[in-house]
Structure 1
Amino acid sequence: MSIRNARSAARLACACVRDAADVRLAALCMGIAFAQSGWAQSQEQAPSVAPSATPSATSSGATLPDATLPAIHVQGSAPTGYGPLVETDRVNDPRQRAASSKTGTRLEDLPASVQVIPRQLVNEQGGTMLRDAITNASGVNYGGQDSKGYYDHFLIRGLNAQVYEDGFSDGDELSGISHSLNGVERVEVVEGPGSALFGSGPPGGTLNIVHYTPSPDLHYGGSVQAGSFGTVTNTAYITGPTGISGLNYRIDGTFSRTDGFRDLASRDYEVRPELQWQLGKHTIQFSLDLRDIHETPDSYGIIYFHGSPLSTVSRDAKFSTPFATAKQTYVRPTISDQWRVNDILTINNRFSYLHRSLDALTNGDSTSTKISDGEVVGRQLRQQDDSDNSFDYQLEPVWKFATGSVGHTLLTGFEYQHQTIDTERTTADLPNIPDAFNPVPPETSLGQLAFLCDAKHSCDNDNLVANYYSVYATDQIDVTDKLKVRAGVRQDWWDTSLTPNISVPGRFGTNGQPLLAGVTDSRNDAPVSWNIGALYKLLPWMSPYFGISKSHFANFNSENTQNGIGAPESALQYEVGVKFSLLNERLILNTALFDVKRDNVAALQTVNGVESVVFDSQKTRGAEASIDAALTSHWHVIANFTAQDPVITDNPQGIASVGNRPQGAPAYIGNLWSTYDFSIDGIPGFHVGAGVNYVAKTYSDITNVNSIPSYVITNAAFGYEASRWGIDLNVHNLFDRRYYVAANAAGAFVGESLSAVVNVHANF
């Protein structure tokens, strides 16, 4: 059923207790009343520090308002959000407290564009991966540099974005992983430079994945989702008390496998146990994230011909090698201690260690691979073995105090990160595909191939080491009930180095000298990042805001080492917007205008058949809007639209590209999703949903020679939810449109054809 607000539900529960005809019904009503009282308590005792380390009445950590909340589904004690108690599927709940703010600030008080995507909404849409969730936030699209199909790469406002998990970076964003939703409660999208909080990070913004925390009450459940292309995804969780006072646990597991659209098979095994111990004034959490991921890269997709993907071959046509594979292991233990010293001071100690390995055979993605005289020429296969080890320590005292009538939540912090990357790569030439219009890759075994390392064959054998030291402060200031100000500054000291184990012709260091085996190429940088913004509640339903932010990003990764370690990127963003909360919060509308400038951007480019790194500058101006509306108590609509103008503003190594668009950055993005709840023969719990996704034309590199066309696809859903179980049918690409989700250098990554999945889930 749906509830319109906490107070009316509590009154209804009390009446229900009075009128209950049997003990079981009375107990159920008492449970509802208890849940509502828990919400009320969480409102009165809202945490003053980052909720990412704070247990709360709901698994989301959100403080729910007294005003009407549309589209909140009560489905027994454990809904399909895979966590206990009641959850909301609203994207822009103004009372939500984003962990990524690190000050426990409500979205309605942040002078910035921050959007929260709840897990329940992604489940409703049939999504199982992070890339399925991002359409629910404005300004975000999949694609950009090195989108080869076996890891996530996202752009926000036309610029690279970084993925974090519970506030910890996933590391090298150009050779990342594909993120499932195992144990994930919500995804937070922070748009624009965020280095004053998160340290070295791309200027587009931050996607922070937030996991569920353990519950003191026993809950368990799971789901089985099966569908097209031999796809099966199994998830399960259990959470509850350990029997030791204050110590609770949670275990989430995911197993998935698929034969894959275009035979791009994959499988994923994940388990994530977590403990939370309430010990006096300390809340101690420990988690261990274990993943074993196998995917099939498809760097070529459909090869370009006369500037666009070849249209005369089927979507199943394969230009990539049949040997393509990518295997990754991911091990991440984290531990945190939230020490609530008193009402003024809370000290957060947080530590994460990450080990990630990659063993891949994937086609080299460069413009040298093309159609010539009816053949596909310039094909290569890269053999790659990477190991990434890093640890991250954060000490963050959070102070809650007042100066006169002005309230402050002051986050102070020290962070130390150490990262080492070992990478080894060689490249083999592949035979031409004789008929590009009826492609059959001719290679039949790896034994036929000779992996080489020279100026014409991309290769390396490197050890990269980085040490990042940071001190920072961010103050969320309640000047009055209406005026909110946020200001932050961060001083970083970066020590980055590259030591080649072999000498490769054509590679040069930061001083212009050849990179030689055993000779370390290093940089030392000390950038200062900052942000300032203000929001004013002009009317109860309208809050204009502005913000300015400056950030820096270390050009340190395993992909861009042809010219050593480059100077850091920098980014400057101006943003103004208005947040609307209308019709007693039944309609939430957020709007923003933005201007983001990005300098010293490392971009891969093929010159005379040789891959090289060029450094350019980019700028994006645009506008975006997002809507979350309860048109009735049963009808819920979520929509967003972004119009942006991303351009190359400077490129000393390629003047002709100035004025062109960056790789993968569309001019327009639009998404719509709508659901309607209804009854059949007096039986409630049925729902239907439908939505569309639109992305405009994007280019494959800064030369803008090749591009992929715009697309619109339609999705649909139908399902039934009982108190403890449910079943859903989701259909993707309802009209079977041919479309492309990423413009790579050699070809376009193909979007999935018409497909369907059925999900059966139960929660107790």
Structure 2
Amino acid sequence: MQRFIVTLLVKLLPLCIAAQHGTIKGQVSSIDGNPIEFANISIQELITGTAADGNGKFEITKVPEGDYTLEISAIGFETKNQSIQILANKTLEIDIVLQESITSLQTVEILGIKERSYSNDVSFLGTKTATPLLDVPQSINYVTKELALDQAAFRLNDVVKNISGVNQYSFYNDITIRGFRVQGQRNSGMLVNGMRAMTSFWKQQLIPHIERVEVIKGPSSALFGNASPGGSINRVTKKPLAESRQSISSTVGSFNTFRTLGDFTGSISQDNSLLYRLNLGYENSGSFRDLQFDKNLVIAPSFSYLPNDRTRLNFDIVYQNSQGRLDRGQAVFGNGDLYSVPISTSLSAANDFLHEESVNATISLRHELTDRISFNSIYMRSSYGEDLLEHRTANTFATLAEGNKDPEQVEMRVFIRKRNWDNDGFNNFFNFNLTTGPIEHQLLIGYDYFQQLLQPGGSQLEARGYLSADGNSAINSFDPTNASAYMLDQNGNPMPNVAHFDLTDPNANALRDMSNYIYATRYYTQFRQRNHGLYIQDQLSINKLKILIGLRQEFFFDELNYDTDEEQFEEQRALLPRFGMVYSIQPNINVYATYVEGYEPQSADVANDPNVGGPFDPLTSSLLEIGAKAKWFNGKLNTTLAVYQLQQQGALYDANDANNPGLLVQIGEEESKGIELDLAGSINQNWSIVASYSYNDAVITESDNTEEIGRQKPNSPRHTGNIWTKYLINDGALKGIGFGLGANFVSERYGSIVSNDTPPIFPEYQLVDAAVYYKVEKFQLQVNVNNIFNKTHWVGGYDYIRAFPGAPRNIMTTVSYTF
């Protein structure tokens, strides 16, 4: 009997033990309904736990019966403690919602922020502090890395279509915002982490290392000094995270596209005081354009050091190397028929090349002196080098014997050029959180410095024009009344120094014999530009009312022939005010109004050069804007509605003078008025969306040429619209499958102004894109089809010799793995 009882106990004991345990399973998500991947879930009393998967789901088994405290934490979110009760043989299903931690977003963006959706609630761009976008009295729109990945975007120009009032001007690093141009190399609207950095003008900026792209609409001179009146574009680089995360992806597709990306981050030290992140990107791609290709390399390491709770130091480098050819656009027959020449036709020769190299190095420091006072210091060193050989248009058709033009032959010229720039940016400011009676203040006082230096040796060989009668020199243009001064062919036509590009010749892109060209040398004399800025800003909070007051004193110095006996010095100054108000009419709805003035000096080499039509006055601008910002669906969806009036005085335009291709003209006044609507975020956990619409009436209001008054500004469509939506299936037989669908609309646009002539009109277009996603655990397959209906369209252009067609239908397939 005793033996029987022992045997029975041995058999029943495991069952009794098992009966005293339960299971916890659930999902961790943010307040906007998006899953928080890799969140940490722990049971405090048992010192055990797990991590959520890529979909925010978790499960803990064999938990003894009893009462416990569940702790859930994730970088960028408030840690949450929740009491739970485990019952024997039961599964506790629980959904955890974490609140994003605003306090963890330091006044300078040093640490990584774990965005997981198309929405972003906080920005440093509008105030230089971590301010909820709802409380910034100015329109700020953005594209997160999640949206860029879902659309298989690789360049800045690929994503700006998602933002109202923003569109391409050309193939270059060249964009319009509210009808005003923002260009690379002007240092007037292209920012990296809120700092001005030297960028290429010829190639669009790569974004594999970018966390998000932000656009602040209107002049931001009160914050950054020299700024484009239309707005500024800020690229926020990816920063280190404390938790280990690695991902790799590869994309193959149309036009012989191959891309591969890597993103690695985590902690180097056991106490998480030293963090790292490494982003890598490589591209080797062709194009739908003849002879065009891109070979790009991006290496972007970043390190964060947190010695204590009050001090944070970040160091990051972005190295970019680009090889390809400069694409000056499509030329069509002189009758102006955009469809008369294939959109694949470029004017390049097979021996052309463009090699660019850039390095950005940044050191950022934030230190909390007290609980209410912090100090921030940022230094950025950026360099850019250009090595170029190109056959390009002379901006006119070939001249015939009688002085008339041949509509099938494009006059050409050749540039061989090398230049190198170095930029230094230094920004220091204090933040004070103060209280005076019922008023809370967030006071900002700072000083910044920016310097751009063109290094010695910058020079260019240029071959252009028509050969002289003896063949020993070249004359820029042909004068039929003095034909004897030129070398003529058997038909009496002048002989070009560089052979014309024949639009009917299928071999026009062949190797060119450059040995007989007659060159003129242009020297880019060394110059230095410097900006000093003193600024103060106060954000006041009085119950539901917030007021922003800012003032900046700007000092601009331009030095031509720098460090030589012929040095020329020019100084300009500007006092730049900013004023805005935000009022909360509902907890989720704010209305705002703002007034800000802008300033953009003309560089001294342009302003004082009589060969290009100078001297020219500096650009000045002002913005008046009112609008509303709101959150919907429990904070999941952000919306912005803006109505604005923007004015600028002093813009320069190409005069399109065949005898002097560099000649510019200054327009008296331009005005942009319009309305914009943007929304971004989620309808629910599975359904994400971005959409925008813009009506922009951007016209010339004052000009010496009366025919220009009232004309729409170049590459400034009156109407643009965009929508992109993505739906993921998380349950059932189709679990892991997702679908994306989008459309983009742009109305007709003028090209650049041509003096005494009507500028070309580029037709409106509507494009449709789609995507399919399949995700299993840490593996995802993604297929994007762009321009599904193969719509022929032009994204912008100058004239009928420099039109910029958009890509035809193309397919991109991406495979990614996170581990």
Report the TM-score when normalising by structure 2: 0.80
Q: Distance in 1 between matches of 2:435 and 2:49?
A: 50
Structure 1: how far apart are the matches of 2:75 and 2:376? 28
- Residue 242 of structure 1: CA displacement? 1.9
Give the secondary-structure state (helix, strand or coil) at the position aligned to 2:524. strand
Q: Distance in 2 between matches of 1:655 and 1:629?
A: 46
Asked whether 1:593 is paired with 2:643, we answer: yes
1:689 aligns with 2:740: yes
Change beyond 3 A, Cα 1:486–1:319: same
Bigger radius of gyration: 2
Question: Which residue does the alignment assign to 1:116?
Answer: 142
Q: Do 1:304 and 1:370's aligned partners in 2 also have CA atoms closer than 8 Å?
A: no
Q: Does 1:334 align with 2:362?
A: yes
Cα distance change of structure 1 residues 583 and 255 upon mapping to structure 2, 3 Å threshold: closer
Q: Which amino acid aligns with 2:534?
A: V
Counterpart amino acid of residue 102 in structure 2:
A
1:464 counterpart = 2:527? yes
Contact preservation (8 Å) 2:676, 2:692:
yes
Whether the 8 Å contact between 1:673 and 1:692 is mirrored in structure 2 is: yes
Q: Does structure 1 residue 570 correspond to structure 2 residue 625?
A: no
1:185 and 1:410 map into 2 onto residues whose CA distance is 27
Q: CA deviation at 1:683?
A: 4.6
> Structure 2 vs 1, CA of residues 543 and 25 (structure 1 numbering), >3 Å: closer, same or farther?
closer
Aligned residues: 702
The corresponding residue for 1:231 is: 257
Larger deviation, residues 529-538 vs 620-629: 620-629
Q: CA deviation at 1:559?
A: 7.8
* Residue number among 379, 387, 401 corresponding to 1:359 in the alignment: 387
Per the alignment, do residues 420 and 308 of structure 1 end up closer, same or farther by CA in structure 2, a change over 3 Å counting?
farther
Alignment equivalent of 1:624, drawn from 676, 697, 701 = 676
Name the amino acid aligned to 1:477: L
Cα distance per residue 1:163-192 (max 9 Å; x no partner): 11111112377x364211132111111110
The answer to whether structure 1 residue 444 and structure 2 residue 511 are counterparts is: yes
Please name the residue that 2:548 is paired with. 486
Which residue is equivalent to 1:101?
127
Tell me the amino acid that sits aligned with residue 762 of structure 1: Y
| Counterpart residue identity of residue 671, structure 1 | N
Amino acid at match of 2:460: R
- Map Cα deviations across residues 102-121 of structure 1 (whole Å, 9 max, x no partner): 12110011111011211011
Q: Partner residue of 1:68?
A: none
| One-letter code aligned to 1:640 | S
What is the CA-CA distance between 1:366 and the residue it aligns to? 5.5
Moved more, 471-480 or 711-720: 471-480
Measure, in 2, the Cα distance between the counterparts of 1:291 and 1:319.
Answer: 26
SS at match of 1:527: strand
Q: 1:277 corresponds to which residue?
A: 305
- 1:136 positional shift: 1.6
Find 1:165's aligned residue among 192, 212, 215.
Answer: 192
Indicate whether 1:554 and 2:597 are aligned: no
- Kept in 1, the 8 Å contact 2:560–2:604? The answer is no
1:425 aligns with 2:446: no
Deviates more, 1:628-637 or 1:106-115: 628-637
Q: Alignment partner of 1:538: what SS?
A: strand
Q: 1:447 deviation in Å?
A: 2.2
2:229–2:598 contact (8 Å) kept in structure 1: yes
Structure 2 counterpart of 1:386: 419
Give how far 1:326 is off. Answer: 1.6
1:744 to 783, 798, 804: 798
Can you list the C-alpha shifts for 1:216-252, whole angstroms capped at 9, x where unaligned? 2222111101111111111112112223751111111
Cα displacement (A) at 1:460: 4.4
1:39 is aligned to 77
Alpha-carbon distance in structure 1 between the residues aligned to 2:34 and 2:239: 28
Is the alpha carbon distance of 1:2 and 1:312 closer, same or farther for their aligned partners in structure 2, counting shifts above 3 Å? Answer: farther
Report the counterpart of residue 644 of structure 1 in structure 2: 696
Give the match for residue 776 of structure 2: 722
Offset at 1:518? 6.3
- Give the Cα separation in 1 of the matches to 2:501 and 2:445: 62
Q: 1:366 to 1:597 in 2, by over 3 A?
A: farther
Aligned equivalents of 2:103, 2:548: Cα separation in 1: 18
Q: 1:350 aligns with which of 378, 396, 404?
A: 378
Aligned counterpart, 1:65: none
What is the CA distance between 1:34 and its match in structure 2? 2.5
Aligned to 1:120, the other structure's residue is in SS state: helix
Q: Which residue matches 1:512?
A: none
Q: Is the 8 A contact 2:118 2:688 kept in 1?
A: no
Distance 1:445 1:755 in 2: 31
Whether the 8 Å CA contact 2:654–2:753 is kept in 1: the answer is no
Contact 1:318 1:441 in 2 (8 A): no
Amino acid in the other structure paired with 1:214 = P
Shift of residue 210 of structure 1? 0.7
| 3-state SS of paired residue (2:514) | helix
Structure 1 position 154 matched with structure 2 position 175? yes
Select which of 362, 375, 384 maps to 2:408.
375
| 1:69 paired residue number | none
Q: Could you list the per-position Cα deviations for residues 339-358 of structure 1 after superposition, in whole angstroms to 9, with x for gaps in the alignment?
A: 11111111001101111011
Indicate conservation of the 8 Å contact 1:535/1:543, yes or no: yes
CA distance in 2 between partners of 1:715 and 1:237 (Å): 27
Deviation at 1:626, TM superposition (A): 1.3
Given that 2:326 and 2:354 are in contact with CA atoms closer than 8 Å, whether structure 1 keeps it comes out as yes
| Residue 284 (structure 2) aligns with | 257
- CA distance in 2 between counterparts of 1:717 and 1:223 reads 16
Which residue of the partner structure matches residue 544 of structure 1? 591
Correspondence for 1:138 among 156, 164, 184: 164
| Cα distance change, pair 473–738 in 1 and its aligned pair in 2 (3 A) | same
Which residue identity is paired with 2:579? I
Q: Which amino acid aligns with 1:330?
A: S
Question: Are the equivalent residues in 1 in contact too, given 2:389–2:416 (CA < 8 A)?
Answer: yes
Is residue 303–residue 370 contact of structure 1 (8 Å, CA) maintained in 2?
no
The aligned amino acid for 2:537 is: T
What is the CA–CA distance in structure 2 between the aligned matches of 1:192 and 1:23, rounded to whole Å? 49
Residue 511 of structure 1 aligns with which residue?
none
Unaligned runs of 5+ residues in structure 1 are 61-85, 502-516
Deviation, 1:743, is 0.7
Aligned to 1:368, the other structure's residue is in SS state: strand
What is the deviation of 1:658? 2.7
Letter in 2 for 1:260: S
| 8 Å Cα contact 1:556-1:566 kept in structure 2 | no
User: Structure 2: where are the runs of 5+ without partners?
Assistant: 1-26, 62-69, 80-97, 183-188, 400-404, 465-496
Structure 2 CA distance, aligned partners of 1:178 and 1:497? 29
- Counterpart CA distance in 1 for 2:733 and 2:139 is 42
Aligned to 1:64: none
Which one-letter code corresponds to 1:40 in the other structure?
A: E
CA RMSD, aligned part only?
Answer: 3.2
Which residue among 690, 708, 711 is the counterpart of 2:765? 711
Deviation per CA, 1:190-228: give whole Å up to 9, x if none.
Answer: 110001111211111111111121122222111101111
Q: 2:468 corresponds to which residue?
A: none
